[in-house]
Homo-oligomer: A and B are copies of this chain.
Amino acid sequence: MTPPATTSIDWIAADWGTSHLRVWALAGARVIHQAASDQGMARLARAEFEGALLDLIGPWLPEGQVTPVIACGMVGSRQGWVEAPYRAVPCQPMADKLIPAPCRDLRLCVHVVPGLKQAQPADVIRGEETQIAGFLARNPGWDGVVCLPGTHSKWVHLSAGEVVSFQTFLTGEMFALLSEHSVLRHSVGGWEDAGFAEGVAQGMERPERLMARLFSIRAEGLLAGLDPGHARARLSGLLIGAELAAAKPYWLGQRVALIGAPEVMQAYGAALGGLSVPVTAHDATEMTLAGLSAARAHLPQGERPCVN
């Protein structure tokens, strides 16, 4: 078998979450290959991680040499490939020491990025620390607040290159549960922007009424024929509005950098813009790659601790 034409791979970046695995082969900062699978942490036993990784990156690996892999996300949880213990804030988002994962394949050397923890109020980050590190690598010296909206939205206060404090909200998961599994599922579908703005306003103004407003969506569907697209957007707005009300100590008088997928950033950007908060938007995948690139500087030199 002849070697592949492109043999210039320096390293491999992996974003390994609960439900998905995404990998990139890079030459320096340039992406040469990328791939993805649904082999997330949740469906893998400890001994299966290496195989799931090789399924995607095997074809890219040059023979006769060791290619470093740096992975972030739930792959480093207690149920992951190797536990990468949380680091306590305040601290820089990227660890000096990455955690080696046991490998059998001699072409591999895998390291995992540790997450962050906060004692009071109790909170954890695993995966987003890498996006924050990427953002800081791209914006050195930036002080302010980073918001990472998603299944578990994170609000993070950055100062002097360190994560000072953070707070997680169950917003995205709550939206999925309510819109797909609760009685509201009969009343929502599609998306109407007007409903979103209405929901954000209601959620911000009286966040303590959230539990009552939710059932109103169902009742308005039954009694007044509320449009399902309007209803679904209002549900999203209500939840995000309640999050913004609770996260006020984070964004009030601050500049906010959003890191996320384009669609969810647009929703948060619109809501924060309505509060006159200065917002910038940064693609989550780009920040992940920038963060894993920054982590590369911390790889141990001249050793291969990840051999099983």
Task: Identify the A interface with B (CB < 8 A).
Answer: 86, 117-119, 121-124, 152, 167-171, 173-174, 177-178, 181-183, 207-212, 214-216, 218-220, 222-224, 239, 242-243, 245-247
A170–B246 contact, CB under 8 A? no
Min distance, Cβ A157 to any Cβ of chain B, angstroms? 14
B122/A242 in contact, CB under 8 A = no
What's the Cα separation between A122 and B122 when bound, in Å? Answer: 38
Q: Which residues of B contact A246 (CB under 8 A)?
A: 208-212
Cβ–Cβ contact A182 & B173, under 8 A: yes
Given contacts A170-B182, A207-B207, A223-B86, contact A212 B117 (CB under 8 A): no
How many copies of this kind of chain does the complex include? 2
Is A122 touching B224 in the complex (CB atoms < 8 A)?
A: yes
Most B Cβ at <10 Å: residue of A86, A170, A243: A170
Given A181-B181, A209-B246, A211-B246, the answer on whether A123 and B169 have CB atoms closer than 8 Å is: no
For residue A86, which residues in chain B have a CB less than 8 angstroms away from its CB?
223
CB distance from A290 to the nearest CB of B (A): 26
Residues in B whose Cβ lies below 8 Å from that of A183: 152, 170, 173
* Interchain CB contact (< 8 A) of A243 among B152, B181, B211: B211
Partner of A211, one of B117, B214, B224, B242: B242
Q: What residues of B have a CB within 8 angstroms of the CB of A214 in the complex? A: 170
Interface contact B174-A211, CB-CB below 8 Å: yes
A169 in contact with B215 given A177-B182, A208-B208, A223-B119 (CB within 8 Å): yes
Q: Cβ of A124: which chain B residues have Cβ within 8 Å of it?
A: 218-219, 222-223
B177 touches A215 (CB 8 A): no
Beyond the given A170-B214, A207-B207, please list 8 additional residue pairs across the A-B interface where CB-CB is below 8 A.
A86-B223, A117-B223, A118-B219, A124-B219, A177-B178, A177-B181, A208-B208, A212-B246
**CB closest chain-B residue, reference A167:** B212
